[in-house]
Amino acid sequence: MAPFPLYARYPQLAASLPRLALSQGPSPVAKLTRIGGKTVWIKNDGLYGTIYGGNKPRKLEFILPDVRRRGAATILTFGGLGTHHGLATALYGRQQGLRTVLLLVDQPVNDAVRRQLCWLHQAGAILHYTATARRTRLLAPFVLLRYADWRRRKLPYLLPPGGSTSVGTLGYVNAALELAEQVTAKELPEPETIVVALGSAGTAAGLALGLRLAGLTSRILAVRVSDVLPLTPETVARLANRTAELMRRRGAVLPSAKIEPAAITVLSDWLGEGYGYPTPEGERAQALLAGSEDLALDLTYTAKTVAALLTLMQDGRLGEGPTLYWHTYNALPQPLPQPEPDDYRRLPPAFHRFFEAPA
């Protein structure tokens, strides 16, 4: 397999869209052999990364060099209280000497969210609680100015939720080309269907574009896990086409055909009450894969995605060909120590409403 498939196919992009390597190689593929029914393959991006895995490092490989290119020292980004995107950005950004500022919207608070908040604090992120998406939009310009470097006349790098920009989406264009090389190497058959979580559109958009460029005909079933952002086939296709235009502007010769919304199917039946709310189907999927496949799922993203996969499989709606589940939840060792009660005591007062008083 080529060291980095995007540059192997489009060598012009190595200079015009540089990458910061955050993983040592492709994420592995394997069979999920014990979930019953038809055979399902997994591409485990949980193992992609160095200090924090999942789909976020693939995006940050392109985003962090773009931050440097623009001369920013601070990244301003957004997420829920338990944001994995925010933690990955804070951890990998800190390695590059960058500060991360987060505007956080409310979501149901459980032990996993509390732990994530502690880790965000430990990773050095500056946290502002904006409660709702509307308040976030209203406050973002003021926060942008607050953290500007006026001496250097530089604003923070504004990064939308999930890192789902044209630059960040390149990570999943490369991921689809990586999958194509694994298919060519006969590590797995070409999938008829790819099932993946849909939270901010960048992963699905990059896959749609990368599959087209690789010549794979897999259809994408994107399981909607967020009601905070407008997520439709048109949303995903629009981001894929903006990414293709970015590649063309930076020197890549691409086919002129656009990604059409019909290339992506968005499934909303497994969203439940909304972003961050667990569902009974997700909890059952989490327990099943933890026991049968030794695979950890989170209740916000991947458990809902696997719940959809299992239902579609049981109902015979996945087709006869191979199905691939694209896993996007961190499967690397936890990046920071497990928080203890003393850690909670040391948190700034703004955190305290999310925690029960330590014993």
pLDDT digits (tens, 9 = 90+) for 37-61: 678 999 999 999 999 999 999 999 9
Query: 19-33, 82-96, 172-186: which range is least confident on average?
Result: 19-33
Q: Of 181, 171, 206, which Cα lies nearest the Cα of 2?
A: 181
113 pLDDT more than 80: yes
1 pLDDT more than 60: no
Per-residue model confidence as pLDDT tens digits over 204-216: 999 999 999 999 9
**Please, which pLDDT band fits residue 335 given cuts at 50, 70 and 90?**
confident
pLDDT for 339: 84
In this prediction, what percent of the chain has a pLDDT beyond 90? 83
* Domain 5-55+165-327 falls under CATH 3.40.50.1100: yes
CATH level 3 topology of 58-163: Rossmann fold (3.40.50)
pLDDT for 347: 77
Q: Does 140 or 359 have the greater pLDDT score?
A: 140
Domain ranges of the chain: 5-55+165-327, 58-163
Per-residue model confidence as pLDDT tens digits over 248-293: 999 999 988 899 999 999 999 999 999 999 999 999 999 999 988 9
First-to-final CA distance of the chain:
53
pTM given for the model: 0.95
Contact 237, 206 (CB under 8 A): no
Query: 173-177, 201-205, 347-351: which range is least confident on average?
Result: 347-351
232 pLDDT more than 90: yes
Q: Of 55, 22, 43, which Cα lies nearest the Cα of 198?
A: 55
Mean pLDDT of the chain: 94
pLDDT for 20: 97
143 pLDDT more than 60: yes
Helices (H) and strands (E) in the chain, counts: 12, 10
Q: Of 241, 237, 272, 269, which Cα lies nearest the Cα of 255?
A: 241
Mean pLDDT of 292-320: 94
Task: Give me the helices (H) in the chain, please.
Answer: 5-9, 13-16, 56-69, 84-95, 111-122, 133-146, 166-184, 202-214, 233-249, 280-292, 302-314, 341-345
Contact 132, 203 (CB under 8 A): no
* Identical fold between 5-55+165-327 and 58-163: yes
Contact 196, 46 (CB under 8 A): no
**Please, which pLDDT band fits residue 345 given cuts at 50, 70 and 90?**
confident
Mean pLDDT of 159-163: 97
Mean pLDDT of 310-326: 92
Mean pLDDT of 330-351: 82
328 pLDDT more than 80: yes
In this prediction, what percent of the chain has a pLDDT beyond 70? 97
**Please, which pLDDT band fits residue 357 given cuts at 50, 70 and 90?**
very low
Strand order in the sheet with 99-105: 126-131, 99-105, 74-80, 157-158
